[in-house]
Amino acid sequence: MLKLSIEAIIKKIEAEELFEAVSDDYSFTIKIDDYVPYACGAVHDGHQFRKELWANCKHTEYERWFEEDPATKEMVNMHPIVIAGMDSRFEYDLNRGPGNAIYEDAWGKQLWYKPLPDAMISKSLEKHANFYKVVYALISKLESKFGVCIVYDMHSYNWKRWDREVPTWNLGTANVDQDRFKEDIESWSTILGKMDLPNGIPSTSKINDTFQGNGYFLKFITQNFDNTLVLATEIAKVYCDELSQIMYPEVVDAVEKYLRTQLKNHAETFYTRHKV
């Protein structure tokens, strides 16, 4: 893996080079093993929280982990193109626009003892902006090369906080063209619902049940690119004990192995259906 500036990463994408890199501020990673008409994103995978913020943060390390999406990068990391955040959403949220990416409160609890100085806010927002410069370059390259593109926007959610039965998988599609991409949305939901998970964990799948796909990552791509479908794909945290902070690696592994073939097949079908 290389350590590269934002400018160097973008130049490699524009030149269609194959590479794996971490940004020079260690805020995100990107891997391109091949230029294919699909990509995977895991914007909430990160847990880093820079030290100068520690003393001012009211939330514990566990409380931050609880709201993050651990292992979502691992679930798709075998695919050719993967971009993933390394920083915690509590520093800045890549799935929110720059105007509200810095939390004042989080899930009903004030985040900071004292308001953040402008310099600290600017440092975080610069990372946010740099990430989206690379996203723009990446999708620009894929759309120009293939005409169409699909992005699997991987997330997880805390199913135990719900007071009703919720699906193992939820697709949020409120902000994509549900008519144009109807078959792709429904087939992806069906594929997820057929996943065989260990330990007797059911694999159910619904569309716009727990979340509707209102994240900035999806909106940014959809608003800037006419021929790219982003599928906001949320897995309930059945792959860990969210209340005890215990990971279940055998479940993560089962998800990764299933998606290794099924996600690729879905992406190939999408491209065949929509290519010009």
Q: How far apart are CA 201 and CA 192, in angstroms?
A: 13
Both tokens of 250, joined, read 């055998």
pLDDT at position 130, please?
98
- In the chain, the DSSP E strands lie at 2-4, 19-23, 28-32, 38-42, 81-85, 105-106, 109-110, 149-157, 169-172, 205-207, 228-236, 240-241, 246-247
Residue-wise pLDDT for 81-116, tens only, equals 999 999 999 999 999 999 999 999 888 889 999 999
The whole model's pTM is what? 0.96
CB 86 within 8 A of CB 22: yes
Q: Which residues pair with 40 in a beta bridge?
A: 82, 152
Residue-wise pLDDT for 133-168, tens only, equals 999 999 999 999 999 999 999 999 999 888 899 999
pLDDT at position 257, please?
98
pLDDT at position 103, please?
93
CB 105 within 8 A of CB 65: no
Q: Would you give the DSSP letter of residue 52? A: G
Both tokens of 36, joined, read 């294919």
Q: What class, spelled out in words, does domain 2-274 have in CATH?
A: alpha beta
Mean pLDDT of the chain: 96
Both tokens of 97, joined, read 């626009």
At 81, the amino acid letter reads: I
Q: For the beta carbon of residue 51, count every other beta carbon within 10 angstroms.
A: 7
Domain ranges of the chain: 2-274
Burial of 228 (0-12, 13-18, 19+ CB in 10 A): buried
- Residue 133 φ then ψ, to 5°: -60, -40
Is residue 128 predicted with pLDDT exceeding 80?
yes
Is residue 276 predicted with pLDDT exceeding 90?
no
Q: What is the DSSP string of 159-182?
A: GGG-SS---SEEEE-TTS-TTTTH
